[in-house]
Structure 1
Amino acid sequence: MDAASNLSCADPEQLGSRYYLERPLGSGAMGQVFEAFDLSLSRKVAVKTLLPECKEEQWVQRFLQEARAAAQLEHPGIIPIHDLGYSADERPYLAMRLVQGETLGAVIQRLADGDEETHRQFSFSRRLQVIARVAEALQFAHDRGVLHRDVKPDNILLGTRDEVVLADWGLAGFSKPEELGPAADPESRATGLSADGQIVGTLGYVAPEQLTGESAGDAHLDVYSLGATMYQLFTLRTPHSQQGTLSDVVGRILTEEVPPADDFLHAHQGRVPRHIAMIIEKATARDPAQRYGSCLQIAAAIQDYLDGEAPAVCICTGTKSLLWRMLRLLDNHPHAFVVGGLLAVLIPVLELILILMLW
């Protein structure tokens, strides 16, 4: 969702007989979100309404598609839908749980601005935990045949109670839309393009195959977008430059690999550790076959890194690689490079001696 600064609630209104719209929270391509009061249950909620200019049937169906997608996904990392209704002018609206907090996009902006408090709060470890929780929510959706198709920082909400929530399922696609019944939107099949050939998703985060319409309609779309989000969270820049014409940007996405995340040195956070960069690199591979096969694999790779687990073991002794652990130390303490370099040479020799002794 975009910032709410362009919205106005100078004339608060009652929506139907149940909701009182209090203040705007954000706006997207087809809807706007308000903080509202549920008169029936006396509680705060978020209400998303369809924009007045989006009355065409295709927009209505896409809005209802969001309700159908989110209604199937009862997960702590996905905002639950409370109610679906229609306003006096027959525009649909959704009532959902209100998450008090901010978007990941807002956090990234403060990090990019060099805000010291934000850099203290969002260490590399905490950033990894955020991505892992989004990955788990996406995996839950994928297991139920739902793709998000618009994963990006502005659609990830960080609540004041430590919630990490994936929002805005308005572009969701279904791997088996026929199971939704005759009301299913023809655009609900989980491909990369809409029925009229328009790009589904946000340009800075879409997978290359979303731009060409060659997507198989599987988890690789969301894997890439989550990887692109992770890339920006760690490097504070999008995977590909957004400068130039639309054609220029699309051309870069289609023909260029994402620059390694550890290529950049930031004044307030240093360089991205190599093993984190490797996770990002695999998630954002241009070829879908080279990416992680699922978001669960991303979450597992992150957890292994956080736990200090080695990605491989010594094939002779079955012990975790001491060399890998030393590289982890260098990731977190780059000033130890000289000592670490010597140890990186000595440790394989010691491992070889151990193997010979056990032979």
Structure 2
Amino acid sequence: MDVVALEKTEEYQGRYRVERTLGAGGMGVVYLAEDIKLGRKVAIKQLRSDLTGNSAEARFRSEAQLLARLNHPNIVRLYDVLEEKHSIALVMELVEGVTLKEWMRENSPTLVEKLDLLMQICQGLGKAHCLGIIHRDLKPENILVTIDGVAKITDFGIAKALDCDEQLTREDHIAGSVQAMSPEQLQGTKLDARSDLFSLGSIAYEILCGAKPFKRDDMNALAFAHHITSKPHIPAHQAWPEIPKPLSALLDRLLGKHPEQRPDNAQQVFEALELVRKHGIDDSTLQYSETVTQLLIKPRKKRGRLSLILGGFAALSLSAYWAWHTLMQLPPQYIAVLPIEINGNIPGGENNKALIKALVRQALVSTPAKLKSSALISFDHEENDNFDKQLKELQILGTTDVLFARLDCIEQRCNIELQRINPQDSRITGQTSFTFLTNRPQEAQYSIGTSAIDLFPSNYKEGEFSDIKMAPADYAMYLSTISKLATPEIQVSTDDSDLDLLEELISKYPQNANLYRSYADVALARWVGTNNKKFLTYALGVLANAEENGLDKTAILEARLVIKSVGNDIEGFKKTIHELQSIGYPSANLYTQFSRFLYIQGDYTQGAIYGQQAIDLNPSSAHSHYVLAMNQVAAGNYVDARDTLKKIVELSPGYWVAYALLGVIELETGNLSAAEIAISSIPEESRTWGSQVNLGTIFFLQGKYSKSLDIYLKELETSPENLLILNQIAETYLMLSDRSKAREIFTQIIRLTNDSSELRPKRYRAGAFAYLGKTSDSIALIMELLRKSPDDTYVKHTATQVYALAGEWQSASYYLEQLLEQKMSIEWFALPAFQQICNQPQVSQVVLEKLCNRRTSPKELTSS
């Protein structure tokens, strides 16, 4: 079929309706078309009919083969290859936007926008290089920019795989634009990925400086090529006198004449740009500030000079961000509060005893905020745990100090003994005792608070402890509210009236810091119980008022950090952590919090980096090890995760969540017996609903669907809107051939995730759409998730199902291959969505060998 015929065809190969021509080049024509089956617009790039049979056709086929291996948000995707007689066409992602050349001509972007675009190009290029693909024609015309500012690399027509023959055709050595080619490409010598980095440098120079690095004037192509290979580029500061020094240095290295003078890979360039982006940009002007220049190291005049700003940029960006100041000279303290012990009789019975416990606990948990370089460690103990066991658990959490209070009461008088204990050896490092009256609770709280602070060295004290007294009736209501927070079922023991009461008290006593912290705690409890984010918004508003009133900064920042940790405001979370760091808050605690936050956001690579930073600072913390392991498992890094979990077990043989996570690893890698042993080793009373669900999943993967369904339904009774459990139930119904019930559950999942902006709910929603036949919705959603979390094991697993159900076999095979390569077991691919993959011609050799040729039926699994 020739070009004219395709343009006039209403429907091509029964699937694509051609609408109009988008553009034409030397090798082919690009059309706008509609994919009738999936209801989406696509671009069809067809080889000119007069070029078939020569090297151009080989280039087209090579481009298709290379693009089939590439799936990245910053690379234009290949959907399909169409062949008819001697005609070949590529069906590709339609990018609504302009070329980078047009973008530079039509916009006046800020430095931030320029850096963001360059960082995206680095990420796309890095993906290609990781797969052994060199673009060889990287230039502004071959980069598209969407209307949302997303950069996408296109036109891999002369790209070359590193494991290919040296050339497709002889002319390919000098194929491409001279301005975009590296010296070694112009000279026809062997290329590696650093050739593309030269081209990237040329693009970066043009974006940042508004000019090209080599002036052509009236030189012909041959003369200009000689100029590039032998003459230096125009110094960046001549084109842009105000160019930041780090960017000028980076351009010099990218445009080095020899590959060894350039960075090793695109990731190093990304990290360099990211450092300038994060630490050298003024938030108000979005332009460069000098804060990052001092981090740079001048180059050595040797072959190893690459280390100047690139080799160490990852480490520099971390240390620069956390800003190690002199405030960190005090050794950090991680303080926990043991359950309050009361003996004797108190007027008012158990209810009044609970109020006194709340009073004492409130005074003690406020202590770390009054001390420099100190953080509160949250601690949930089992009701029957003895004193020694509690200390042991706190030891493995990395706790340095424990506060313990024992009360002996007779009527209105209570004698309190306060102790500061070192959990490492159970030694008492400080103690005091005194008597207070229960009918004067505010005075008691003040005395307990000041006495607790006095147990610590004087150089840790922030200043004099003070508090704002409330009217007795108001304090009684406040005490009643915070006593609810000490109960295990906080999500049902608090209600909106508690927030109303605290708001009223804050209006009366705007200088009382305890009220603001308590409001944040209750708001968080309401969010836990309802999943309604309005409560988080309320809390942030109240805490903002606290800052305006000049209240204790550490306490307010701590409360804000907790609220931010369960949301999606990454920049806000970073800012709060940075503020805490700047006033001397212990870094290990912040690193662990940030690692956990990134895990929730689906950024497992960065989550693991910060988790390791926390461990480096506090090696005895099993909790930090556990958060690191969570990120490693989610990213499919099972080998390192096993090592991390082994260290946890060495630190604490009774840290049961580590066994549960080990069970997840064994589950995903198909070691079902080992998974069952790991989970079953957890005492039944210590198993969470998640462990029980994983036990059900073991039976599911063994083909024991009825047994797994019983477990899921039992857990659903106590958590009726749990998306994980609902998804497992729906998939189990599919395996039991009860499609009607499966559809009911998938419909419920869509209803429950209607307003969610978080990764996990969206993943379940994408799968539900796919199984309900809403193909366009499912593909759009899974593409969004893949852009956000390309390394997420579970997102890739859902993507495989979505594309398989849509008949997009090439994409399904692509993600399935990734999962198999990271050692995910073939048992995870028993669902109906996967059943037809092995019958498709697009399936990769890896999938054929690792799945199709080894697939075992569920019946065989059950019998084994």
**Is TM > 0.5 for Structure 1 vs Structure 2?**
yes
Q: 1:12 aligns with which of 5, 8, 12?
A: 8
Q: Secondary structure at the match of 1:82?
A: strand
The separation in 2 between residues aligned to 1:32 and 1:290, in whole angstroms, is: 39
Structure 2 match to 1:227? 201
Q: CA deviation at 1:57?
A: 3.3
Q: CA deviation at 1:162?
A: 3.2
Structure 1 match to 2:40? 43
Q: 2:264 aligns with which of 293, 297, 315?
A: 293
Q: Secondary structure at the match of 1:303?
A: helix
The separation in 2 between residues aligned to 1:306 and 1:259, in whole angstroms, is: 24
Q: Could you tell me which amino acid in structure 2 is paired with residue 253 of structure 1?
A: I
1:104 is aligned to 2:79 = no
Q: CA deviation at 1:35?
A: 1.3
Q: CA deviation at 1:256?
A: 0.5
1:311 is aligned to 2:291 = no
1:161 is aligned to 2:148 = yes
1:171-210 matches, within 5 Å, as: 171-177=158-164, 187-188=167-168, 194-196=169-171, 198-210=173-185
Structure 1 match to 2:213? 239
Q: CA deviation at 1:299?
A: 0.5
Structure 1 match to 2:27? 30
The separation in 2 between residues aligned to 1:8 and 1:307, in whole angstroms, is: 51
Q: CA deviation at 1:144?
A: 0.9
CA shift in 2, pair 1:8/1:285, >3 Å: farther
CA shift in 2, pair 1:15/1:187, >3 Å: farther
Structure 2 match to 1:124? 111
Q: CA deviation at 1:274?
A: 2.8
CA contact (8 A) 1:9 1:22 kept: no
After TM superposition, the score normalised by the length of structure 1 is 0.73
Post-superposition Cα deviations, 1:134-183, rounded to whole Å, max 9, x if no partner, equal 111111111111111111111111112332111111111011127xxxxx
1:144 is aligned to 2:115 = no
CA shift in 2, pair 1:301/1:51, >3 Å: same
The separation in 1 between residues aligned to 2:236 and 2:4, in whole angstroms, is: 39
Q: CA deviation at 1:273?
A: 2.5
1:72 is aligned to 2:69 = yes
The separation in 1 between residues aligned to 2:226 and 2:297, in whole angstroms, is: 37
Q: CA deviation at 1:211?
A: 0.9
CA shift in 2, pair 1:151/1:253, >3 Å: same
Q: Higher helix proportion, which one?
A: 2
The separation in 2 between residues aligned to 1:90 and 1:9, in whole angstroms, is: 13
CA contact (8 A) 2:7 2:31 kept: no
Q: Secondary structure at the match of 2:71?
A: coil
Structure 1 spans left out of the alignment, 5+ residues: 1-6, 111-117, 179-185, 189-193, 321-359
Q: CA deviation at 1:282?
A: 0.8
CA contact (8 A) 2:120 2:150 kept: no
Q: CA deviation at 1:11?
A: 5.6
Post-superposition Cα deviations, 1:296-345, rounded to whole Å, max 9, x if no partner, equal 111111011112252359xxxx986xxxxxxxxxxxxxxxxxxxxxxxxx
The separation in 2 between residues aligned to 1:260 and 1:124, in whole angstroms, is: 19
Structure 2 match to 1:261? 236
Q: Secondary structure at the match of 2:179?
A: coil
Post-superposition Cα deviations, 1:254-278, rounded to whole Å, max 9, x if no partner, equal 111111112124xxxx743332122
The separation in 2 between residues aligned to 1:58 and 1:37, in whole angstroms, is: 29
Q: 2:186 aligns with which of 211, 219, 226?
A: 211
The separation in 2 between residues aligned to 1:104 and 1:28, in whole angstroms, is: 17
CA shift in 2, pair 1:103/1:97, >3 Å: same
The separation in 2 between residues aligned to 1:141 and 1:211, in whole angstroms, is: 21
Of stretches 272-281 and 62-71 in structure 1, the one that deviates more from structure 2 is 272-281
Q: Could you tell me which amino acid in structure 2 is paired with residue 130 of structure 1?
A: L
The separation in 2 between residues aligned to 1:231 and 1:224, in whole angstroms, is: 10
Q: Could you tell me which amino acid in structure 1 is paired with residue 201 of structure 2?
A: G
Structure 2 match to 1:353? none
CA contact (8 A) 1:264 1:271 kept: no
Structure 2 match to 1:134? 121
The separation in 1 between residues aligned to 2:76 and 2:172, in whole angstroms, is: 29
| Structure with max Cα Rg | 2
The separation in 1 between residues aligned to 2:30 and 2:183, in whole angstroms, is: 30
Structure 2 match to 1:284? 255
Q: Secondary structure at the match of 2:91?
A: strand
Q: CA deviation at 1:29?
A: 3.3
CA contact (8 A) 1:45 1:96 kept: yes
**Structure 1 stretches of at least 4 aligned residues deviating more than 3 Å after TM superposition:** 7-12
After TM superposition, the score normalised by the length of structure 2 is 0.31
The separation in 1 between residues aligned to 2:167 and 2:230, in whole angstroms, is: 27
Q: Secondary structure at the match of 1:177?
A: coil
Q: CA deviation at 1:50?
A: 0.4
Structure 2 match to 1:357? none
Structure 2 match to 1:355? none
Q: Secondary structure at the match of 1:204?
A: helix
Structure 1 match to 2:289? none
CA contact (8 A) 2:158 2:172 kept: no
The separation in 2 between residues aligned to 1:219 and 1:147, in whole angstroms, is: 6
Q: Secondary structure at the match of 1:169?
A: coil
Q: CA deviation at 1:198?
A: 4.7
Structure 2 spans left out of the alignment, 5+ residues: 280-291, 299-315, 321-864
The separation in 1 between residues aligned to 2:48 and 2:64, in whole angstroms, is: 16
Q: Higher strand proportion, which one?
A: 1
CA contact (8 A) 2:134 2:161 kept: yes
The separation in 2 between residues aligned to 1:73 and 1:10, in whole angstroms, is: 27
CA contact (8 A) 2:115 2:273 kept: yes
The separation in 1 between residues aligned to 2:178 and 2:19, in whole angstroms, is: 32
Question: What is the number of equivalent residue pairs in this alignment?
Answer: 283
Q: Secondary structure at the match of 2:167?
A: helix
CA shift in 2, pair 1:123/1:32, >3 Å: same
CA shift in 2, pair 1:231/1:8, >3 Å: farther
Task: Indicate the percent of aligned positions where both proteins have the same amino acid.
Answer: 27
1:329-344 matches, within 5 Å, as: none
CA shift in 2, pair 1:60/1:254, >3 Å: same
Post-superposition Cα deviations, 1:79-133, rounded to whole Å, max 9, x if no partner, equal 221110124x5310011111111111102223xxxxxxx21xx112211111111
Q: 2:90 aligns with which of 84, 94, 102?
A: 94
The separation in 2 between residues aligned to 1:307 and 1:225, in whole angstroms, is: 25
